[in-house]
Structure 1
Amino acid sequence: MKGNLYVFSSTRAMQEFLKAQDGGFLPQCMLIGEFFSQVLLVEGKSKIPPMMRKILLSEVFREFEFEERESEILFFEKNFLGYLETSSFLLTFFNELNHHKVSIKDIPQKDIYGDYEDHLRVLEKVQESYERKLGEYGVYDFPHNAKILDEFVEHFERIDVFLDGFLTPFEIEILREIATRLELAIHLNIDEYNISHYEYLSRDFEIDHTYVFSLSSKKILQKTPAPLLHKPNAYSCTLRLDQCAFILQKIQEWLDEGISEDEIAIILPKDDFKSYLKVSDEERNLNFAMGFEPDELLEQIRAIAQNQVEITGSKLEFLIENLKGLNIPESFEIQLDEIIYIYQKMSDVLEKLSLSEIVHLLCLEVEKMSIDDFRGGRVRVMGLLETRGLKLKRAIIPDFVSSNIPKVSQSDVFLNTKIRKALGMPTLKDRQDLQKHYYLEIFKNTEEVELLYFEGEFAPFGKEIEARAMGENRYTLFECAKKYDYVFDEADCVVDEGFALSATSLSRFCECKRAFYWKYLKKLEETQESEAINLGLLLHQLLFESYSNAPHQPKEYFEKKLLEKIQQEESQLRKLELRMFLIQMQKFFANYESVDEILSLEREYEIQRSGLRLYGRIDRIDRVGSEARVIDYKSGKNVGVDWIQSAIYACIAKEHYAYLDTRVFFCSLREGKFIEDEKLQEHIQKLDEILEEIKAEREFAMTSSRSKCRECAYRILCNR
């Protein structure tokens, strides 16, 4: 007798479904990934193990005979770890194209950077070589030309798919084919964030309803209202420790009310919050569903590569022999055996690597494992994706701030939003909508949800679902310190002729005179330093070196030095950012006009004006005919004219190069555009007015715009 098959998007949803069964024989269930792998057959080939994909693509890079220009285009680091890093985002790119039935040839090549067409051509050649390499090993990565396995489908009378996410065009095509052979129903929860993504099924869906839709008959079988009945409460906090205090106190209150522990959950937008909870949870009420990182095991494995013993035989066998002596958690043994089995099958590739490279590969796999939390209680701490299909009575979501919600991984660097829309592929907004849908499902399936956030950083999504503002969190782990009345510090300094003013200090004066007072007159230094500033300094330094050491070939010198910097970087995100600048800088070098003479590079100047000292470090001054062209590099986004900087630099240039007409340009290094200050004389006049105002200033009042105080290092001193 044929039975039904139930397919789920997550393990948690499947477990909740099975728990709700009345008894007897449990129905047959599986996850959607397992379903697609079992229902599809690629004749004569087997599915490549995930860990083998990077190794195989890295082998493709090693063997690939790049033309010199092609190698420069993608700036590949010619070592195994560099290839390994590159393979990570290329595999994601290839997989997404395949799932959306898009060929690299289909990608539009308009409105993009200059080398885009060359990049795509190289990627296409890499993809073709990767497919050939898969064929050599008798495996496949994506099931091109796969057939539906009739023996699997015929075993069931009906298939129910509980969908909690978006299907790709490839997956939709497979389900539609199966739906012609038996009844296939899709269970959906429709809301304002996902309704547009299911229009391919039906345009009759309404928001805040659940549906059972027959893909076989293309009819709605069941429709049930699913409104948001319980709006979450939102509490502001000052510190993460305050959030922990709230969480632990609330859990205790709920337990005292008789709420069962397994009906309470703490849902983390970011995993790093669990370290705060772990040290705060003295009563061990919490169980960390995501487990803990196997740090001790990773240290033991890395130590194998530091072994100074000379290896005469197989490096892989040496590694396997050393693994036997490690303290391996019992739950890891089967997974490690599977990894070693795959490594042995690919020994011809791995033996070409050094021991440290093989160990690095193994550590990448072990990092994906987690040690289960056996010591904890029954109140679960979990990530967002683990909540799919879960019904609760109480839940708390800490760090409910704009930087986390919605939080999505960085989209593929090769396809921008415009191209994705043209190809019918998910955009950044689509991924954000999916995350909002997941959160909305939590609110709908939980009787009471508490949100915790930092003052002034509440996620806009919370306002979209009309969360109720409950004021400041009253719980704390520590006794509150005694409060003292704020005493305003009276300014008693003056700006005299011995004080040197820069564009930065003048800008601070115009924004907030009190912040200017703290920083430049009281000399209270800020400690904040951003990655963006560091990147800008690096690019300025490399451009200085390029035009100083190789004025006739600055582009080649710049690329060489930046590639060296990329190889030295440890942060993968930083490497990717630098690679993108390497690509974007092509526009700068292409748009930069030839000049008669470079008058100065990264030089500091100082002049007297209106009885005050002005100084500035000017990136470069060129002579073109009878003009002195002052140029300031900008590495950030949305580059425009900085009138204060422009006016100061123009005054400096006019004094030092009085025989030339002065023009000031701001150069966007991201776009290679040169933006001229066309109101230069007006800005110089305005500068003189500001200088007179500074000389007369005695109050140094705080800014009336409190929005500027949010990121100010001195806001506590101003009682803001």
Structure 2
Amino acid sequence: MQLSSKKLIVKPTSRSIREYLSNSTFENTLLPSLITIDEFFKRVLFFENKKLIDEEQRFLYLTEAVKNVNLKSLGISSSFSSFLKQSDYIYRFFLEIASENISIDSITLVDTYSYYEEHLSILRSIYNNYLKILDKNNAVDRINFYKYFNINKDFVNRYEAIEIYFEGYFTQFEFELIKEVSKCVNLEIEFIYNEYNKKSIQKFIDYGLKIDNFNRYRINFSNKKIVSQKEDKQNIQSLEIKGFSSRINQIAFIKTKISEFVDKGIDPSKIALILPDEKFANILRLFDEESYFNYAMGIGIENSKLYKVLDAIYSSLVDEEIKLIKNIEYLNIDKSFYTELFKKAWNKPIRKENYAEIIKYFKSLESNKDLLEKFDDICFKFEKLIFSQDEVILFKDAFKIFHQKVSSITLDDVNSGKITVMGLLESRLIEFDALIICDFNESLIPKRSLKDKFLSTALKQKVNLPTITDRENLQKYYYKRLISNSKNIAVSYVKNDSDQISRFASKIFDKYEIEDKLYDNEYKHILYHNHSLKHFDEEIILDIDLSKIVWSASSLKEFLECKRKFYLNHILKIKEHDISLKPKGYELGNIVHNTLEKFYKQEDRNYGKLLEIFNEYRSENPFLNLDLEIWKRKLQDFISYEEERFKEGFEIIALEKAFIFDFEGIKLQGKIDRIDRLKDEYYVLDYKTSSNLKVSTKRTYEKAVDFQLEFYYLAVENLFKTDKIKSFYYDLFNMKLLEETVLDNKLNLLKEIFETFKTKSVNFIKCDDTQTCQYCIYKTVCNKD
């Protein structure tokens, strides 16, 4: 059919218009006029001597409308920063009832049990106040369109015919507009009727059109006649559904399917990836080394210098974690500028001159013209929003809102690939040769609506307002249309303890059996280049003379616990690599040891001084700092315990005393924490911070692997030429001394152990004690996980 410029075609989205133009031929004819449905409704509306307000002005009017209203009863805060976010709930409710031509009074009449009487009374007050403010300012908003609109006949009369390709839902107000336009010009509407859009199509039926089968319809709305109807057939040629244990692993499947589709001869520009959660695009971009994708939703500004600095400043002010403060230094943010303009102003009212300086600073960081243009727009609107208020607004509240608004900026994807990544709504009325849908999960498909805040679903149903079910069905309609319009389909979903495939899958893919299997392993090689650990179980026998080694108590303990561990640590010297924030067992012990050494090396020995020294060891690790706070009380108990001992006559004669000497022909070395003396008797003290400290007994000493007190005893004997020695663990956790009561037995055992060291060959076998392996850093290497 020949098209003329006198025809207007209305499509649901700009992308569907581009798709239409690229797939159509217009030889020897004038191009038709094409606009989106949103633009169509804007153009056909005409308001005489009225100004249309923007989002910022709407918020200011709403703020005025809720003054002297009990917002707490609605569960909404009246503070500026909270209301800015929550006011949207009120506005959406007003918009919904205005769009459906429903009055609050009619809802009250239907609310038989008066469950919502108080809420509706408050909402009615706000609604009436808001309408009065609009009238006072000679303004219109979508909420009062119905009162003042006229049909823009200058626009409508340009055309001999208008065709609307309807995908979605007409509100009652929009439907009334369509009716008015159809009186001025020949208006045809094309749509699909299926089981999920019954509520949408009911408006056409109520208007007098005989629509009774699930089909594709073209209707003449002007004369209420059906022009054509035909079966809406599915074009599916291939379908594949795969489950994965994590969202990221879906990306491997997505890439594989793209490769397969292209190998099949499908044009990459006719392949689309649908994201039920558009935020997933941020993760997808990280793995897009091949530059497969272009992003219909735009690209976030997270990697821009402007955003990085803004986010670093905001994060450091909200939470003064050391890593966030360090980020300020890393980004070379001037410290005095940061302190004066941000930190000192944080809990003070925001000032216009400060705001201007801040905006100037952020703009100086950025060179991207597109970003600067969008940033300027936000700054202009934000200034209007913040400084039009009578209420004092704290800098921290204003900066929080500013951070949120800047975070929402997206830029056009100019360096784009051929495969389009889009959200569900953007895909309306577009046909694809190949389609991939990820995250086909119960939590996302259909997406849950947040609009039923003030009324129950049952009450909404009674007054004919859209319910949660209606909105979910509309999403299902979009998915069914999208899938019907595609030939080759691949679907992935996440299955784990918190999520599962959407129940909608079994309905829309009713002819396909969905397997209960996960496919992570089949595809993960696409994303990850695995470096698998090779475990070795063979014997490791070395020609080595253990008697020539200088032994410490800790290295001996390691050898006796597990010879393989000793081999890996002391011979191969493989050290632990761990980035965990969880403190190591030795970190607290080292701090306590160092604190007590410093404390006893100076004359002022009170708790205050001990605490002062202890506080020098504050860590950048928050978990370790928590342990240190707990130990402050224990150190107070330590001072009390020590005072009692010194009253008995004890004196300290050595701290951190190093030693090295021969015993049974083997060199022993180490460092004694502390040596006390009472008259002519020496007390060897080894500080311990463990909460479950135990000493050997006559029943257990034969299996002993810890000979630390024996090493210390022999060292003191060697250093001071005396046998009047007692060896103790200083149990700092429970604040008591634990004496080594089987010292002689363990010394004899130590001699026997050292006798076995005088050999030329050692088998470094793995231990069989699972308790030893549990906390061993080499357990993965030994395959003991």
Give 2:68's aligned residue.
65
Whether 1:127 aligns to 2:127 is: yes
Q: Which residue of 1 aligns with 2:54?
A: 49
**1:287 match: secondary structure:** strand
* Equivalent residue runs for 1:361-440 within 5 Å: 361-440=401-480
1:328-371 deviation per Cα after TM superposition (whole angstroms, max 9, x unaligned): 63223444444455556667614754444444444444344312
Q: Secondary structure of 1:184's match?
A: strand
| Ranges in structure 2 where 5+ consecutive residues have no aligned partner | 314-337, 533-785
Q: Tell me, what secondary structure is at the counterpart of 2:48?
A: coil
- For 2:371 and 2:469, locate their aligned partners in 1 and report how far apart those are by CA, in whole Å: 38
- Corresponding residue to 2:275 among 260, 265, 268: 268
Partner of 1:220: 226
Partner of 1:8: 11
User: Identity percentage over the alignment?
Assistant: 27
Change in Cα spacing, 1:49 to 1:319, as seen in structure 2 (3 Å) is: farther
For 2:462, the aligned partner's letter is A
- Which whole-Å CA distance do the structure 2 matches of 1:171 and 1:340 have between them? 33
The residue identity in structure 1 corresponding to 2:135 is G
Structure (1 or 2) with the larger CA radius of gyration: 2
CA contact (8 A) 2:434 2:487 kept: yes
Alignment of structure 1 residues 274-423 onto 2, 5 Å: 274-295=281-302, 296=304, 297-301=306-310, 303=313, 306=342, 308=344, 314=353, 317-318=356-357, 320-327=359-366, 329-342=368-381, 349-350=388-389, 352=391, 353-423=393-463
Q: CA 1:299–1:404 in structure 2 vs 1: closer, same or farther (change >3 Å)?
A: same
Match of 1:701 in 2: none
Following superposition, the deviation at residue 131 of structure 1 comes to 2.1
Q: Which residue in 1 is equivalent to 2:36?
A: 31
The CA distance in 1 between the partners of 2:134 and 2:301, in whole Å, is: 32
Equivalent in the alignment of 2:750:
none
8 Å contact kept, 1:233–1:469:
no
Q: 1:659-694 deviations in whole A, cap 9, x for unaligned?
A: xxxxxxxxxxxxxxxxxxxxxxxxxxxxxxxxxxxx
Q: What's the TM-score, normalizing by structure 2?
A: 0.56
* Contact 2:110/2:463 (8 A) holds in 1: no
Aligned residues of 1:316 and 1:351 also touching (Cα < 8 A): no
The amino acid that maps onto 2:284 is: L
CA-to-aligned-CA distance 1:522-567 (integer Å, 9 cap, x gap): xxxxxxxxxxxxxxxxxxxxxxxxxxxxxxxxxxxxxxxxxxxxxx
- 1:177-216 to structure 2, matched below 5 A, reads 177-202=180-205, 204-205=210-211, 207-216=213-222
Contact 1:59 1:349 in 2 (8 A): no
Unaligned segments of structure 1, at least 5 residues: 483-720
SS in 2 for 1:349: coil
Q: How far 1:314 moved relative to its partner? A: 5.0
Partner of 1:469: 513
Q: CA shift at 1:450, angstroms?
A: 1.2
Shift of 1:228: 2.1
Tell me how far apart the structure 2 counterparts of residues 348 and 136 of structure 1 sit (CA, whole Å).
Answer: 21
State whether structure 2 residue 170 is matched by structure 1 residue 164.
no
What is the letter of the counterpart of residue 8 of structure 2? L
Q: What secondary structure does 2:524 align onto?
A: coil
**Structure 2 vs 1, CA of residues 346 and 429 (structure 1 numbering), >3 Å: closer, same or farther?**
closer
Change (3 A) 1:347 1:421: closer
Match of 1:248 in 2: 255
**1:191–1:437 Cα contact (<8 Å) kept:** yes
Q: 1:172 to 1:71 in 2, by over 3 A?
A: closer
Shift of 1:101: 0.7
Comparing 356-365 with 227-236, which one deviates more in the overlay?
A: 356-365
Matched, 1:458 2:497: no
Deviations 1:370-429 (A, max 9, x none): 123334421112111111111111111112122222113223211211111111111111
In structure 2, C-alpha distance between the alignment counterparts of 1:315 and 1:129, rounded to whole Å: 34
Q: Comparing 26-35 with 111-120, which one deviates more in the overlay?
A: 111-120
Query: Structure 1's 370 and 249: CA in aligned 2 closer, same or farther, altered over 3 A?
Result: same
- SS of 2:204's equivalent? coil
Partner-residue secondary structure (3-state), 2:19: helix
Structure 1 distance, partners of 2:264, 2:224, is 47
Give the CA deviation at 1:108: 3.6
For 1:635-674, list aligned pairs within 5 A.
none
For the residue of structure 1 that corresponds to 2:299, the secondary structure is coil
State the alpha-carbon separation in 1 of the partners of residues 86 and 501 from structure 2.
36
Give how far 1:439 is off.
0.7
Greater alpha carbon shift after TM alignment, 46-55 vs 431-440? 46-55
Contact 1:405-1:461 within 8 A present in 2 as well? yes
CA 1:34–1:301: 2 relative to 1, 3 Å: farther
Q: CA RMSD in A?
A: 3.1
Matches within 5 A, 1:453-532: 453-455=493-495, 457-465=500-508, 466-469=510-513, 471=515, 472=517, 473=519, 474-477=522-525, 478=528
Counterpart check, 1:116 vs 2:137: no
Indicate conservation of the 8 Å contact 1:240/1:276, yes or no.
no
Structure 1 residue 236: Cα displacement: 2.7
Whole-angstrom CA distance in 1 between matches of 2:531 and 2:198: 50
- Measured in 1, the distance between the counterparts of 2:257 and 2:97 equals 46
- 1:463 and 1:358, CA in 2 relative to 1: closer, same or farther beyond 3 A? same
CA distance in structure 2 between the aligned counterparts of 1:317 and 1:104, rounded to whole angstroms:
43
Contact 2:168–2:200 (Cα < 8 Å) also in 1: no
Instruction: Name 1:100's counterpart in structure 2.
Output: 100
Instruction: In structure 1, give the amino acid aligned to 2:446.
Output: P
Write the letter of the residue equivalent to 1:464.
K
The residue type equivalent to 1:153 in the other structure is V
CA distance in 2, matches of 1:285, 1:77: 46
Aligned-pair distance for 1:136? 4.0
Report the Cα distance in structure 2 between the residues aligned to 1:86 and 1:237, rounded to whole angstroms.
Answer: 36
Q: Which residue of 2 aligns with 1:548?
A: none
Structure 2 partner of 1:686: none
- The answer (yes or no) to whether the contact 2:216–2:231 under 8 Å persists in 1 is yes
- Counterpart secondary structure, 1:236: strand
Matches within 5 A, 1:677-688: none
Aligned counterparts of 1:475 and 1:313: Cα–Cα separation in 2: 55
User: 5 Å matches for 1:596-615?
Assistant: none
Question: Offset at 1:292?
Answer: 2.7
Q: SS at 2:256's partner residue?
A: helix
In structure 2, how many angstroms separate the alpha carbons of the residues matched to 1:262 and 1:398? 18
Paired letter, 1:255: V
Q: Are 1:74 and 2:122 an aligned pair?
A: no
CA distance in 2, matches of 1:11, 1:30: 8
Q: Is the 8 A contact 1:46 1:140 kept in 2?
A: yes
Partner-residue secondary structure (3-state), 2:469: helix
The amino acid across from 1:306 in the alignment is: F
Q: How high is the TM-score relative to the length of structure 1?
A: 0.61
Q: Do 2:235 and 2:486's aligned partners in 1 also have CA atoms closer than 8 Å?
A: no
Taking a change above 3 Å as real, the CA distance of residues 368 and 205 of structure 1, as seen in their structure-2 partners, is farther
Residue 5 of structure 2 contacts residue 30 of structure 2 at CA under 8 Å; is this kept in 1? Answer: no
Q: Provide the rounded CA distance (Å) in 1 between the counterparts of 2:298 and 2:248.
A: 21
Quick one: structure 1 residues 404 and 324, their matched pair in 2 at CA, closer, same or farther if it must change by over 3 Å?
closer
